[in-house]
Amino acid sequence: MESPKDSGTPQLTRREAMGRVALTGLGVASALSAAGELARLAAQGPAVVNPIPPPATDSKFPMPPAWNKELKQVAPNVYAYMQGGGPGLSAAGVSNALMVSGKDSLLAVDATQGPIPARAFIAAAKQATGGKEFTRLVNTHHHGDHVSGNQFFNHAEIMSHPYCRDECIKAAPTTPKTWTVTPGVADKEEPRVLVPPSVTFKDDLTYFIDGTEMQFRFAGPAHTWGDMMAYFPKYKILFAGDVGFFWVAPYANNSYITKWIEVCDKIQGWDVDMIIPGHGPIGGKKELAEMANYFRVLGVETRKRYDAKMSAGAAAAEIRLGRFDNWIGPERLIMDVVRWYEEWDSTLTPDYNAMAVREATIEYNEVKKKSGAMGEMIPLSRMVAVAEAC
Ligand SMILES: [Zn+2]
């Protein structure tokens, strides 16, 4: 695995490193375990009464499209499992997956976030292929909405980048033992277990599945330190996992944003016509470039305030992103600003800094309250929901 040092992550001073140890010592090892930590922290914070999701949209620009939940055939034997979405719907946890059909069996890329979507994906795949079973599953990365459904792929060998496996193993002990009834995720209480991948690969890996060439490509760090993408050269299709967020604000809690932008630029040079993102509707290079532009615009706005020595939360409260303000999940702007600050402070690690995001959210809300923009406040509980998946 490429270590943060190898990949160019700024090194910490001793004092910063000690501070970071204190944070990671709280169990903030990944977005999975961090969600529980943030929930605990949120419970301690001041109650925010207004539940309206902020910030305001910008009427000068178009709203995101709505897209359907469907198993969509994108090439012979290649299907995208789209969970559907659109304006006004939650962005958290609704990830896309992929299925490749071989002569006798199926390969999945990503397992969705729980029993309802995983079983729906498996049932749709069986129906489309005359009852074939999944025998292989590749996780693009360790976030809950991509690995929590692993337990439902009973007969599949599970593979990932080593970083993804390591994060799953770290998160497994604190994963609840039972599924809680949650709309769209679980409809009954039943045993829950986070099944980690049992096979790892660090670099590119090619499958030839009964005539379908499928290349797994590692180009990270980007969204996390272990992102795998699936590329079909014959069909010029890329399943980008969470390297791609289309019309949905990108989630950067475990990200190296500068490198993520570089990966997006690199993909522009690949022979690709269609990109299936981890979140949002199917698009192409144009949509991926737009996501990189989200980070560029945010980076310019954030840097001005960083240089003016504003706190991350106060900076996030001031920033408007024009066309990107309409994207689904706008509250992620706060974590993305925090992540930019960490890069420039040389305190960035692969881990999710739940404490910093909490502090920034509280400060963001204070600024909004003072300016009378009560409708733009973000309940801490909403940040918990965001942290649980993506
Ligand atoms: Zn993710």
The tens digit of pLDDT for each residue in 154-205 reads 989 999 999 999 999 999 999 999 999 998 999 999 999 999 999 999 989 9
Cα of 172 to ligand 1 centre, how many Å?
A: 17
Cα of 390 to ligand 1 centre, how many Å?
A: 4
Cα of 271 to ligand 1 centre, how many Å?
A: 24
At residue 362, does pLDDT exceed 60? yes
At residue 100, does pLDDT exceed 80? yes
Cα of 220 to ligand 1 centre, how many Å?
A: 13
pLDDT (0 to 100) of residue 20:
34
At residue 25, does pLDDT exceed 80? no
Torsion-angle region of 10 (φ positive above 0: left; ψ -120 to 50: alpha; else: beta): beta
Cα of 161 to ligand 1 centre, how many Å?
A: 14
* Confidence grade of residue 35 (pLDDT, cut at 50, 70, 90): low
Tell me 37's DSSP state: H
**Looking at per-residue confidence, does 89 or 147 come out higher?**
147
* Confidence grade of residue 37 (pLDDT, cut at 50, 70, 90): low
* Confidence grade of residue 16 (pLDDT, cut at 50, 70, 90): very low
At residue 45, does pLDDT exceed 90? no
pLDDT (0 to 100) of residue 22:
31
Cα of 146 to ligand 1 centre, how many Å?
A: 7
Whether the CB-CB separation of 16 and 356 falls below 8 Å is answered with no
Q: What is the mean pLDDT of residues 363-390?
A: 76
At residue 10, does pLDDT exceed 90? no
Write out the CATH class of domain 67-293.
alpha beta
The tens digit of pLDDT for each residue in 320-360 reads 999 999 999 888 999 999 999 999 999 999 999 999 999 99
Whole-angstrom Cα Rg for the chain: 20
Cα of 198 to ligand 1 centre, how many Å?
A: 20
Cα of 33 to ligand 1 centre, how many Å?
A: 14
At residue 53, does pLDDT exceed 50? no
pLDDT (0 to 100) of residue 220:
83
pLDDT (0 to 100) of residue 57:
79
Cα of 104 to ligand 1 centre, how many Å?
A: 31
Counting residues of the chain whose pLDDT is more than 90, the rounded percentage is 74
State pTM to two decimals: 0.86
At residue 148, does pLDDT exceed 80? yes
pLDDT (0 to 100) of residue 389:
53
Cα of 91 to ligand 1 centre, how many Å?
A: 11
pLDDT (0 to 100) of residue 2:
37
At residue 47, does pLDDT exceed 50? no
Cα of 143 to ligand 1 centre, how many Å?
A: 5
pLDDT (0 to 100) of residue 34:
54
Cα of 329 to ligand 1 centre, how many Å?
A: 14
pLDDT (0 to 100) of residue 385:
59
**Looking at per-residue confidence, does 157 or 368 come out higher?**
157
pLDDT (0 to 100) of residue 368:
87
Rounded to whole angstroms, the Cα distance separating 317 from 376 reads 9
The tens digit of pLDDT for each residue in 264-299 reads 999 999 999 999 999 999 999 999 999 999 999 999
Tell me how far apart the terminal alpha carbons of the chain are, to the nearest angstrom.
Answer: 22
The tens digit of pLDDT for each residue in 206-235 reads 999 999 999 999 988 999 999 999 999 999
Dihedral angle, C-alpha 21, 24, 25, 26, nearest 10 °: 140
Cα of 122 to ligand 1 centre, how many Å?
A: 21
Q: Alpha carbon of 298 to those of 31, 135, 294: distances in Å?
A: 22, 42, 6
Provide the residue ranges of all domains of the chain, joining segments of one domain with +.
Answer: 14-60+295-387, 67-293
